[in-house]
Chain A
């Protein structure tokens, strides 16, 4: 096992989740390439080969727009998230990058303390090295 690579990937994902959990949302798009794909899709749709995502973005600018809408436009009650990530499985690594799979659980804590399991699933990531 390439221990250094494993740790670098897990460090990247830990920082990524931390930006969301700590409310530094403007940092979040910067973890993606300019021409990234960010898609949240239900297991049901994914397994049936249906393309519909809950969120479906194909540029970093679309992610920035998500954050801008969250900050400026959309209406919701105060709440916060807490991500718990599994150890990452690295697959298909080569010179151009790697594929990684990580299970996650996200809890949502409402303003009155009400805490619920908000989402559970796995990240199917394509990670590339970029300056």
Chain B
């Protein structure tokens, strides 16, 4: 067990009630945030860094983050992927200052220390001094230094990484049931359609909870429900891996029918007179041949794969302090898409992203919680829909996968 977990004073007192009770302090205490960086984001978890297609050629690099730690991904001379911390070993400055680029070496601008594409230190400026004066001590060896590496692994064109030697393989970490559902969507070469970056005014876990919360979809998102894209009454469910941290929820459009619970309770989401002037937005087809029109998948701690009809995206959730989060969307099609299919995906993208008809509320609701809890840090949320465990269920009227997130969180945090 790592030292951090054997600390006798947990950073957070977990209340009675197991994973069905979460203390609001988890979203507001800087000490919790600091512990998460160490135990989760630098601990034995796998995090999305980028797509392999973003660094296709030798010398290509892209900068991103693992938690709050700046990271560079490179494609080296042999065509292999590498990832390392974007922090010069000399004084700690960022080495790469661009979002992406191509280079034979990476050079820190501060004192011109030069690194190879595998992150190894090649040279330090004036190592031998100038005109016999100055210079590093005789026992300084460039080969003793390198940018701190991460282990990388590729799955379905996605590049994941971990700082930990203790982490299981990526596929073991995700688990076979969830890997299969990831492969269901990302089943052939990809095409990147573009990016969204979204700043959320809430703790990162509030966004991840929202993603895993199958209970809210038809209640918060009126647009979704009104056009019968998604109702709790439709056939669907949630698959959860044994750790609880990874999930895939799904629904089938074809099974939607009028439902008494919706009609009798007169929910906001039950207006049937609401029609689009231009319904081409909803043109979609069953591209995976299984009738599943929405699948939302997550891997602990911060990876999301979304299939909403034919709108496909991966999302990377990056903490930026205790109460700020950056949400990075990479919106995808496939290399073999024809022009019409690409146009359909782009039009459906109006449903998602920061201004998306169905995603915009998800970008706001976390901040409603963040602003609701300052006077109640010792209080807890109530997460009991669908029981108190975190096993797979054949309904989406459940918070099982939210409880699963907290099971995995507590395990990683030693709480």
Q: A: which residues have CB within 8 A of B?
A: 40-42, 44-45, 48, 50-59, 61-62, 64-65, 68-69, 72-77
- Kindly state whether residue B249 has any CB partner on chain A within 8 Å: no
Q: For residue B342, which residues in chain A have a CB less than 8 angstroms away from its CB? A: 51
Q: For residue B220, which residues in chain A have a CB less than 8 angstroms away from its CB? A: 75
Contact yes or no, A56 B346, CB < 8 A = yes
Give the distance in Å from the alpha carbon of A76 to the alpha carbon of B360 in the complex: 8
Contact yes or no, A74 B195, CB < 8 A = no
Q: For residue B276, which residues in chain A have a CB less than 8 angstroms away from its CB? A: 61, 65, 68
Give the distance in Å from the alpha carbon of A64 to the alpha carbon of B277 in the complex: 7
Contact yes or no, B278 A61, CB < 8 A = yes
- Kindly state whether residue B281 has any CB partner on chain A within 8 Å: yes
- Shortest Cβ distance from A64 into B: residue: B277
> Which 8 A/B pairs are nearest by Cβ-Cβ distance?
A52-B194, A61-B278, A61-B277, A50-B194, A45-B194, A73-B222, A73-B223, A52-B193
Besides the contacts A48-B194, A50-B194, what 15 more A-B pairs have beta carbons closer than 8 Å?
A: A41-B194, A42-B197, A52-B193, A52-B196, A55-B355, A56-B350, A62-B350, A65-B281, A68-B274, A69-B223, A72-B222, A73-B357, A74-B223, A74-B361, A76-B364
Give the distance in Å from the alpha carbon of A56 to the alpha carbon of B226 in the complex: 21
Contact with B354, one of A54, A61, A68, A72 (Cβ below 8 angstroms): A54
Q: For residue A61, which residues in chain B have a CB less than 8 angstroms away from its CB? A: 276-278
CB B80 to nearest CB in A, in angstroms, measures 25
Q: For residue A41, which residues in chain B have a CB less than 8 angstroms away from its CB? A: 194
Interchain Cβ contacts under 8 Å between A and B, 23 examples: A42-B195, A44-B195, A48-B194, A50-B192, A51-B193, A51-B194, A51-B342, A51-B346, A53-B194, A54-B354, A54-B355, A55-B355, A56-B347, A57-B350, A61-B277, A62-B280, A64-B277, A64-B278, A68-B276, A72-B271, A72-B274, A75-B361, A76-B364
Give the distance in Å from the alpha carbon of A19 to the alpha carbon of B277 in the complex: 21
Q: For residue B360, which residues in chain A have a CB less than 8 angstroms away from its CB? A: 74, 76
Q: B: which residues have CB within 8 A of A?
A: 192-197, 220, 222-223, 226, 271, 274, 276-278, 280-281, 331, 342, 346-347, 349-350, 353-355, 357, 360-361, 364
Q: For residue A69, which residues in chain B have a CB less than 8 angstroms away from its CB? A: 223, 357
Q: For residue B364, which residues in chain A have a CB less than 8 angstroms away from its CB? A: 75-77
CB B2 to nearest CB in A, in angstroms, measures 38
Give the distance in Å from the alpha carbon of A68 to the alpha carbon of B222 in the complex: 12
Contact with A50, one of B195, B197, B271, B274 (Cβ below 8 angstroms): B195
CB A58 to nearest CB in B, in angstroms, measures 7
Contact yes or no, B222 A45, CB < 8 A = no
Contact yes or no, B274 A52, CB < 8 A = no
Contact yes or no, A52 B346, CB < 8 A = yes
Q: For residue A62, which residues in chain B have a CB less than 8 angstroms away from its CB? A: 277-278, 280-281, 350
Give the distance in Å from the alpha carbon of A68 to the alpha carbon of B355 in the complex: 14
Give the distance in Å from the alpha carbon of A77 to the alpha carbon of B360 in the complex: 12
CB A78 to nearest CB in B, in angstroms, measures 12
Contact yes or no, A50 B354, CB < 8 A = no
Contact yes or no, A45 B195, CB < 8 A = yes
CB A118 to nearest CB in B, in angstroms, measures 11
Give the distance in Å from the alpha carbon of A74 to the alpha carbon of B360 in the complex: 8
Q: For residue B353, which residues in chain A have a CB less than 8 angstroms away from its CB? A: 54
Give the distance in Å from the alpha carbon of A42 to the alpha carbon of B278 in the complex: 24
